């Protein structure tokens, strides 16, 4: 299971990891591969795992009563993702407490930016914070994450190009 090396490296950046810890993780951690468009957790299921992204990009979203998708979070290589509300029905371990704290801080930052910054500044902040996501994700998903329509995001991007 050398595929877990990136996970172990990531964990070591945050907490001490003994050989016994690694052995325990090797017993309990599984690698899953998903097809494009496949769901990690279906609507109505309980999220029982945190997911560490080894390769690719995952997104967390919810669908409102009108059928519109709203992106909550993206996760690329080396990032964690889970439906925290569902997952936290259990008690988080020492490492996941750190991850949850960081996720909460990022979530608060996003809320503050979405209510206090104009759309142009929100897009610029996202682009500066996540330059690789700008290249990897479809614009309609970025627009959803930023709380705007894809048409409006297109206008914002056009305006930014004109400002150059």
- Mean pLDDT over 122-143 rounds to 93
CA 100 to CA 92: how far, in whole Å? 9
The answer to whether the CB of 37 falls within 8 A of the CB of 69 is no
Q: Give pLDDT, residue 1.
A: 42
- Binned at pLDDT 50, 70 and 90, residue 38 comes out as confident
* % of the chain exceeding 90 in pLDDT: 32
- Binned at pLDDT 50, 70 and 90, residue 58 comes out as confident
Name the more confident of 106 and 96.
106
Q: Give pLDDT, residue 67.
A: 79
Of the candidates 40, 11, 13, 41, the residue with the CA atom closest to the CA atom of residue 26: 11
Name the more confident of 15 and 66.
15
Domain with CATH 2.60.120 in the chain: 32-163
The CATH code that applies to domain 32-163 is 2.60.120
Q: Give pLDDT, residue 71.
A: 81
pLDDT at 108 over 90: no
pLDDT at 39 over 80: no
Segment among 61-70, 86-95, 108-117, 132-141 with least mean pLDDT: 86-95
pLDDT at 35 over 70: yes
pLDDT at 140 over 90: yes
Task: Encode pLDDT of 145-155 as tens digits.
Answer: 999 999 999 99
Note the Cα 34 to chain centre separation in Å.
Answer: 16
Neighbours of 161 (CB within 10 A): 8
Q: Which residues of 61-89 are buried (b: 16+ CB within 10 A; e: fewer)?
A: eeeeeeeeeebbbbbbeebbbbbbeebee
CA 40 vs CA 57, 126, 139: distances in Å: 12, 25, 22
């Amino acid at each position: 299971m050398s595929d877990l090396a990136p996970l172990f490296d990531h964990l070591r950046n945050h907490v001490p990891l003994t050989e016994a810890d690694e052995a325990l993780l090797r017993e309990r951690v599984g690698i899953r591969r998903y097809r494009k468009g496949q769901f990690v957790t279906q609507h109505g299921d309980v999220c029982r795992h945190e997911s560490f992204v080894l390769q690719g990009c995952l997104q967390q979203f919810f669908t409102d009563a009108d059928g519109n998708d709203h992106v909550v979070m993206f996760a690329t290589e080396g990032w964690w993702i889970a439906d925290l509300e569902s997952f936290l029905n259990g008690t988080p371990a020492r490492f996941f407490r750190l991850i949850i704290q960081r996720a909460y801080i990022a979530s608060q930052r996003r809320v503050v930016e979405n209510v206090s910054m104009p759309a142009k500044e929100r897009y610029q902040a996202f682009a500066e914070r996540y330059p690789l996501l700008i290249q990897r994700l479809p614009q309609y998903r970025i627009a959803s994450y930023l709380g705007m329509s894809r048409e409006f995001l297109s206008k914002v991007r056009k305006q930014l190009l004109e400002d150059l």
